[in-house]
Amino acid sequence: MTIGSLRAAIKNCMADLTSRGYKNFQEKQLVNMNPLIKDCLAILDAPRDIRKTLYLKAFFTNTSVKAERYSLTNPRVQCTRIGDQYVSILPSNGCIYYIKDDKIYIEWDRALGDLVDVFFGYYARLVAPEIPDNIDTNSEEFMKYNINIREEFEDALVFYSCYFYYARFLKDTDKMQFFLNQYKYYVEDIIHEISYEDDFYEEDVIIKVEEL
């Protein structure tokens, strides 16, 4: 198998895992990433592997809040100029965030105090490593390449690569079907199992109003 075929097998597997419900929850502390903070506006580098944004929790001097996400098309975003910068219209004691290009913008009511810390929760997307075609597969450099995938799915990647190899090169229908079945059933079992173990539960961020 060539390096190009190996890259194709990894990318195809990652696309298939995503379509089957693969999730990798991440929570990152963003204040450690040298943010620009000025007059109740913070600009931080967004993680490069965001697939789906889940929440942003901002910690201030005396309190913490789950920031409300605004879209860039919201007329309240950056609609007022104060001094040399455009700011958004905020609710009382409010904190909002929006994502523009590769940056996360956070704005908050001055009454909340100084921004102390930020935690950003999201589902990470699968990213295949870009392995050069001319690399020596027996070299230490090749061994340093890491496929960033949940540990539970490492065997699934092996099964899919075997299926890909037999389907594309050897045209062995029996082996191809064997490894495809191994892959599908393994992924189905793992996704069912980890659905009860994920650190993030989406309904936790839904605010429900109880009727009296």
Cβ contacts of 194 within 8 Å, gap of 6 or more: 23, 150, 152
Task: Please give the structure tokens belonging to residue 181.
Answer: 């079945």
Q: Report pLDDT for 202.
A: 58
Q: pLDDT tens per residue, the chain (212 residues)?
A: 788 888 999 999 999 999 998 988 899 998 765 667 777 889 899 999 999 999 999 999 889 999 999 888 888 787 777 666 777 778 788 899 999 989 999 999 888 888 999 999 999 999 988 888 888 888 888 888 888 899 999 999 999 999 999 998 888 899 999 999 999 999 999 998 887 766 666 555 543 333 33
Which residues have C-beta within 8 Å of that of residue 32, sequence separation ≥ 6? none
Please, is 9 exposed, middle or buried when counting C-beta atoms within 10 Å of its C-beta (0-12, 13-18, 19+)?
buried
pTM summary value = 0.79
